[in-house]
Amino acid sequence: MSGQDIINSQALEPDNSQAPESEPDNSQAPESEPDNSQAPESEPDNSAPMTPHPPSLPSEDQHIPSRLPITDMQDMKIWNEIFPDAMAKLSSETNEPKGLSEAGYTIRDKTDWEGVYSVLDAARNRYQEEGRFKLLRKSRRKFADKVDDVAAASKTVTKFAPVLRVVEVVFDALKTAANVRKEVLESVGVGDLSYIFSKAETFMNIFPEDISVREASIDLTATIIDAIEHAIGFFISNGYKAFKALLIPSHYQSALLQSLTRIKTKSMILDEQATESNMHRQLIGTRRTFANGAQLENVMSEVESINDLVGTRWEEYLTRALDTSLASLREHNANLLGEIASLKHQAKLQAEVDGLRIEIHSLKIEINSLKIENNSLKIENEKLRAENEKLRAEIDKLRAENEKLRAQAPGREREAPGRERE
């Protein structure tokens, strides 16, 4: 089974472990369509025990979600997740090409694909800015006919992930070497690079917890980073060495070609690991299907036993069922009568409570009226007190005048006899 077959089979493979839980489809048998010309199947005898059909397979109109296109996979996040492990593997197994670190173009200290792409793009820009190679660019474009087609195909997906933008720059390195072009296209198959990346992404999504698939993906990623390093070395080579790289395979061209060959090999290993994982998954699914089938047979056996019991003791079963139903209904009726009596009692109590609430409300109104009258009496009392104080003041005034008059009275009494004599 190829890698593409695995991708397609994972999108279309039904989940057999859920078969016992699906609803039975009485309109068809599990393996063949019902023959409407046969009376026992089209018109079942209600007097005989009925055996339900086993669960049917999913019908054709049931929706099975399609596998998403490679370009819709959320910017290939898994590539960034395995990037640190791949860089650690490359650093532990290979030495960095000479001159990269000294020239300031090392990528082994980067933590993601954006960092790698920035260094690779800077190296390409430096190469393109070499003045003495401007006259040779027309020759490079003439020799790069088929590579241009491959690069154009890769650019259709470069906007979706930094790792695929790296492919574009690697193709630019290959386009500068006309004598390597044919060998790369026919022997290595670099036109499949973007497909290799996308397929590896799909495998890691299908088998996210498979250690073998993850390790093979990390190994492939480390090989890709190795090819990027050699592409950077090719770009920053200058002078006569850069001119020579245009004519015959140089050290950088050879190393880049070998890296691309290893990418192809690592991709095949990843395909093999994914195939084995898929076979293991199908084996587990088959075992579960058989186990579910055995459980289904047990259920069907129990159903048949029940049907036999119902067929032989149908009347007795109905009598017991009716007696049980009547007893249940009587009990339910008694409970309803008790609830009705309770509701009536509660209604009576509620009426009494409502009457008391009305009386309380009336008493509150009377109390408020008495409070108003009391306030009025208090006001009148205050007025009377004020008048009383006023009267007391007048009485005191009269008493004072009376005392004054009494004080003047003796002199008047002495004058009175003299007047009488006269």
Give the domain ranges of the chain: 70-290
* CB crowding 226-238: b at 16 or more within 10 Å, else e: bbbbbbbbbbbbe
SS3 55: strand
What pLDDT shows up at residue 131? 39
Distance from C-alpha of 269 to C-alpha of 218, rounded to nearest angstrom: 12
**Model confidence pLDDT, tens digit, residues 220-241:** 889 888 888 887 887 776 433 4
What pLDDT shows up at residue 230? 81
Distance from C-alpha of 109 to C-alpha of 88, rounded to nearest angstrom: 10
Q: What is the DSSP letter of 113?
A: H
What pLDDT shows up at residue 305? 66
- Nearest Cα neighbor of 234 from 149, 395, 121, 124 is 124
Give backbone dihedrals phi and psi of 24, rounded to 5 degrees, phi first.
Answer: -70, 145
Distance from C-alpha of 312 to C-alpha of 310, rounded to nearest angstrom: 6
What pLDDT shows up at residue 284? 77
What pLDDT shows up at residue 190? 42
Distance from C-alpha of 200 to C-alpha of 214, rounded to nearest angstrom: 9
The low-confidence residues of the chain, meaning pLDDT below 70, are: 1-77, 127-195, 197, 237-253, 291-296, 298-299, 302-315, 317-318, 410-422
What pLDDT shows up at residue 3? 52
CA distances from 244 to 147, 250, 410 (A): 20, 7, 161
What pLDDT shows up at residue 391? 93
CA distances from 202 to 22, 191, 412 (A): 30, 18, 142
pTM: 0.45
The tokens describing 143, both together, are: 């020799």
Largest CA distance in the chain: 180
SS3 24: strand
